[in-house]
Amino acid sequence: MRIMNQSVLDRLLRYVKIDTQSKEDSDTFPSTMKQFDLANLLVGELKELGLNAEIDEHCYVMTTIPSNLPSSHPAFGKVPAVGFVAHVDTSPEVSGENVKPQIIKYEGGDIVLPGDTSVVIKASENPGLEECIGHTLVTTDGTTLLGSDDKSGVAAIMTAAQTIVNNPDILHGDIQICFTPDEEVGMGTKYFDLEKFGAKYAYTIDGDLPGELNKETFSADAAIVTVYGRDIHPGSAKNIMVNSVRVMADIIAKMPKDKAPETTENYEPYLHPYVLEGGVSKSTLKILFRDFETAGLAVHKERMKKIVAEVQLMYPEAKIQLEIKEQYRNMRDKLIEQPEVLDYLWEAATITGVNPYWKPIRGGTDGSRLTEMGLPTPNIYTGGQNFHSRQEWVSIDSLNKTVETIVNLIKVWVEKSK
C-alpha cells in the first residue's frame, strides 16, 4: 500500500480498526501482544516514507527525520533534536475490538450512534461540538470505543512526518519520533530509551480540543486495599463468618464523596475507587490518588490509613492491608525550568490560528514521566473528546490543525535557534 500522500483521516480510519487494547495486571510487556500489530504497521509505513524506523522487543517504535539544514543556514548545528510521541494502545475500560468508525458531516445537535442507538453523543454534554459545526467528525458505531486516544496522535505525527519528508523546503533540525505501548495502564515509559531517542525536548500528541495546551498534570499514586475475611457456609455463619465484601463496603462508604472524579473539576484533587474484586474470604480495591500538588498525595495516604484503621476496629477478625504505589508527578515543576519548550509551542499554535490556552490535564500522559526522567515533554491537542468511552469522537478538521501545529513548531525551533 502506498502511503506517501495519505490524509490524516485515511490514517486514522486504518489505525482504529486494529485492536490494541492494553491490559492491567499483565505479566508481559507490552501488556498485550496485539499492540505489535499497529506498531509493526507503523514501522512499515515509516520505511515507505524513506525513514530508518526500528521496533524493539518492548514494542517501542523509533525513527529520525534527519536535519536538512544546509551548512550555510544561520541555525545550522544549533537546532536541538525535537521529538514527538504518541501511544498505540487503547484503554482497558472499553473494548477496542472490531471498531467500526463512522464519518459524519456534523450539522449540530445530538449524535445517535447506529450500532447501539441507546448510545448518544449529547450536545449538552459536549460543548466542544458547537465549535465543530460543519466539521467532519469520526465516531464509533456505539459498540466500542474509537481509539482516538491516542491513534489520533499517531495519525497526526505520521501525517506531519509525511508532510516534512515530501516538502524538503521545510527546513528542520533532527526530528525524533516514538510510538509507545501501554500508556493507558501507566507503563508507557517503562522501557523508553532516552539515549536512543536522542531528543533534547519532546511533545506528546495526546490532548483534547484544538488550542488546548498542557503543561500541568496531576501527580499520581495508586493504592490497593486488600481485605481478608473468613468464609463458612452461611447457614452456620453466626459469630464465625467474616465477610470481606461487607468490610470493603464500609471502607468505600467512608471515602469522601466530595473528593471524587464525579464531584471535582479543574485543580481539585480526588480519590477514585475504580476496580473492586472479591468474595467473602478476600476482596481487593484499587484506588487512584490524584492531586496537582504532589504534597497532596500524602494527605490522601493519611486519609486512607485513617479509614482503614477505623474499619479495622469495626471488624477485629478481618485483616486489612493498604499498599501505596507511586505512579507519576506533575510535569509543571520541571517544565518551568526550561520555558522555551513551552514558549515555542505557544507560538506555533498561535501561527496555526487555534487561539492557544493552557489547561491542566486531569490525568497524565507519557509526558509526565518523560519530563520527570529529564526530557521536557508538554502535551498538544488532537481535537477529540469523550476518550475511553463509546461516545468518543474526534474532529478531522481539528486534527488537521494538530498536523499543522507540529510542522509550525518545527519551523519555530529553527527560527529561534538562529
Band (2; pLDDT cuts 50, 70, 90): low
Q: In which band, very low, low, confident or very high, does the pLDDT at 5 lie, cut at 50, 70 and 90?
A: confident
- Position 1 scores a pLDDT of 46
Q: In 3-state terms, what secondary structure has residue 403?
A: helix
Among 19, 150, 174, 183, the one annotated catalytic:
183
Banded model confidence at residue 324, pLDDT cuts 50, 70, 90 = very high
Give the closest residue to 90 by CA, choosing from 140, 129, 157. 140
Q: Residue 364: is its pLDDT beyond 90?
A: no
Amino acid residing at 163:
T
What residue has cell string 536512543?
A: 196
Tell me what the mean pLDDT of segment 352-363 comes to.
Answer: 93
| Confidence class for position 25, pLDDT limits 50, 70, 90 | confident
Handedness of CA 408, 409, 414, 416 (dihedral sign): positive
Query: Contact 351/186 with Cβ under 8 angstroms?
Result: no
Selecting among 45, 89, 184, 291, the annotated active-site residue is 89
What 3-state class would DSSP assign to 192? coil
Per-residue pLDDT tens over the stretch 300-310 = 999 999 999 99
Span 228-287, pLDDT tens digits: 999 999 999 999 999 999 999 999 999 999 999 999 999 999 999 999 999 999 999 999
Calculate the CA 113 to chain-centre distance.
24
Tell whether pTM > 0.95. no
Cell of 6: 495519505
pLDDT at residue 16, rounded to an integer: 98
User: Per-residue pLDDT for 182 more than 80?
Assistant: yes
Q: Which residue's C-alpha cell is 527546513? A: 171
The pLDDT tens digits for 374-397 are 999 999 999 999 999 999 999 999
Q: What percent of the chain has pLDDT over 70?
A: 99
Place of cell 543556514: 73
Instruction: Tell which residue, 289, 270, 370, 282, has the closest CA to residue 320.
Output: 282
Task: Quickly list H helices, 49-106.
Answer: none
Domains of the chain (ranges, CATH numbers) = 8-216+330-416 (3.40.630.10), 219-327 (3.30.70.360)
For 145, the 3-state DSSP assignment is coil
Q: How far, rounded to the nearest angstrom, does the alpha carbon of residue 11 sit from its chain's CA centroid?
A: 19
Q: Determine what percent of the chain is predicted with pLDDT higher than 90.
A: 95
Cell 476496629 locates to 313
Spatial CA neighbour of 216 closest among 336, 375, 52, 112 = 336
Look over the chain and give the mean of its residue pLDDT values, rounded to a whole number. Answer: 96
Say yes or no to pLDDT of 3 above 70: no
Burial class of residue 63 (count of CB atoms within 10 Å of its CB; 0-12, 13-18, 19+): buried
167, burial (CB in 10 Å: exposed 0-12, middle 13-18, buried 19+): exposed
Q: Is 310 a catalytic residue?
A: no
d(CA 106, CA 110): 10
Name 20's bridge partners.
none
- Chain Cα centroid distance, residue 29: 18
Q: Is the pLDDT assigned to residue 77 strictly greater than 80?
A: yes
Tell me, what DSSP letter sits at residue 230? B
Characterize the bridge pairing of strands 102-105 and 111-112: unpaired
Give yes or no for residue 226 having a pLDDT over 90.
yes
Of the pLDDT bands very low, low, confident and very high (cuts 50, 70, 90), residue 365 is: confident
Q: For residue 301, what is the enclosing H or E element?
A: helix 295-314
Nearest residue to 255 (alpha-carbon basis) of 219, 293, 305: 305
